Amino acid sequence: MSKVLIIGAGGVSGVLVHKCAALPEVFSEIMLASRTKSKCDAIAAQLDRPIQTAQVNADHVPELVELIQSFGPELVINVALPYQDLHIMDACLETGVHYLDTANYEPEDTAKFEYQWQWDYHERFKDAGIMALLGSGFDPGVTSVFCTYIQKHHLDEIHTIDIIDVNAGDHGYPFATNFNPEINIREVTSKGRYWAKGEWIETAPLSIKRSFEVPENIGTPNIYLMYHEELESLGKHIPGLQRARFWMSFGDAYLKHLEVLGNVGMTRIDEVEFNGQKIVPLQFLKALLPDPASLGPRTKGKTWIGCQVTGIKKGESKTFTIYNTSDHEACYAEVQSQAISYTTGVPCMIGSKMILEKKWTGKGVFNIEQMDPDPFMDNLNTYGLPWKIINGPVAKLD
């Protein structure tokens, strides 16, 4: 039985809190904190058991330290903005508390995200005798565990990994993002990159696409090659890996809106002057777009996220595909959130559970694929993200 402090009150947080609250034998006390306490209170009001809520500025380390010391959690779960990762890690170091997040750090003024900033904390966390677990969402997160599960049980050596993320849901808006618009648009408009033979190959944004017939009659969307942070950690932690790529589906209407917004400067992340004050166009656009947390009751359809992995087994070339499908309406019926938030919030809870139950232990900073995949995979089936594995490929990507 353990106390946890959850920082952040967006869509993923709502799912995470619901799932943690349903397991009082693991999460004995929960505090939910955010810059806007009313958002925490709204999530708390949906639950069948009481939790504590608090206001905190996650950019201010002394404020975080004070809150952690007053509540006394065993684990801090960070589902705030990626800009705030290092501040929260600093606060965990100062208080001697374990740390977990779902997305790696990126600086607010540069559209660049990589793990090195957080990996540089390894020795300090090790010396403090505490653990930081990075990327316990779906991608990154489950996708990395999928790969290590195949590595452990089905292949002697992995050669290629293709991660494919398809959202076949429809929320009815002309243009909206399924998670934080600022983070989503920065990610999508960045240059593509994939890892091959120890080097990064860079591509123009969304310049490489394939048509993908998704299993289980979900559809045939276009998927686009992008950079995603788990490529960096998988390239480091999967021995023998020769190539790793990430693909995501986008509809034509979404891409056309994004193109127009980019052409008129609305996706810029640098400050511009407007009526005598400085504004960041992308942050202004975020204020105009629908809140992703509001999409739940409107969204219908399914998600499909999986890994197509090739390698060698007993000298023979093999391919395995491992994936999850989730239904937006079923997710909303359970936790009042659509499947994009659900598929991130559930593995965030499971990763936290692994630490609190001491099934995953360590001193220092770790990515999720460095842990034993088996208990995590069992929990995916138990807590709402059942997976399937196919002996063979499902997508033609070369």
Q: Which domain holds residue 152?
A: 142-327
Residue type, 20: C
- Per-residue pLDDT, 259: 84
| Cα 111 to Cα 13, 72, 323, distances in angstroms | 23, 35, 29
pTM: 0.92
Residue 313 is predicted with a pLDDT of: 97
CA angle 229, 123, 240 (to 5 degrees): 45
In a domain, 175, yes or no: yes
**CA-based torsion, 108, 114, 117, 123: positive or negative:** positive
Tell me the backbone φ, ψ of residue 289, rounded to 5 degrees: -80, 160
Residue 293: what pLDDT?
72
Maximum CA extent, the chain:
68
pLDDT digits (tens, 9 = 90+) for 230-243: 999 999 999 999 99
Any domain includes 73: no
- Ranges of residues in the chain whose predicted pLDDT is under 50: none
The answer to whether residue 320 is domain-embedded is yes
Q: What gap in Å lies between CA 280 and CA 273, rounded to an integer?
A: 9
At 165-199, the pLDDT tens digits run: 999 988 888 888 866 777 778 778 888 999 998 89
Q: Rounded to whole angstroms, how far apart are CA atoms 267 and 113? A: 17
Q: Are 351 and 100 in contact (CB under 8 A)?
A: yes
Per-residue pLDDT reduced to its tens digit, 103-135 = 998 777 666 678 999 999 999 999 999 999 999
pLDDT value for 111: 61
Which pLDDT score is estimated for 298?
A: 86
- pLDDT of 113: 73
The answer as to whether 94 is a domain residue is no
Q: Is residue 375 part of a domain?
A: no
Residue 3 lies in a domain: no
Q: How many domains does the chain contain in total?
A: 1
Residue 287 lies in a domain: yes
DSSP per-residue codes, 163-175: EEEEE--B-S-SS
- Residue 1 pLDDT: 66
pLDDT for 254 equals: 85
Exposed e or buried b per residue across 308-339, where buried means at least 16 C-beta atoms within 10 angstroms of its C-beta: bbbbeeeeeebbbbbbbbbbbbebbeebbbbb
CATH number where 317 lies: 3.30.360.10
SS3 81: coil
95 found inside a domain: no
Element (H, E) at 391: strand 387-391
**Helix 37-44 / helix 11-21 crossing angle, nearest 10 deg:** 40
Whole-number pLDDT of residue 286: 87
**β partners of residue 30:** 4
Give the closest residue to 12 by CA, choosing from 292, 387, 324, 379: 292
Whether 40 and 53 have beta carbons less than 8 Å apart is answered as yes
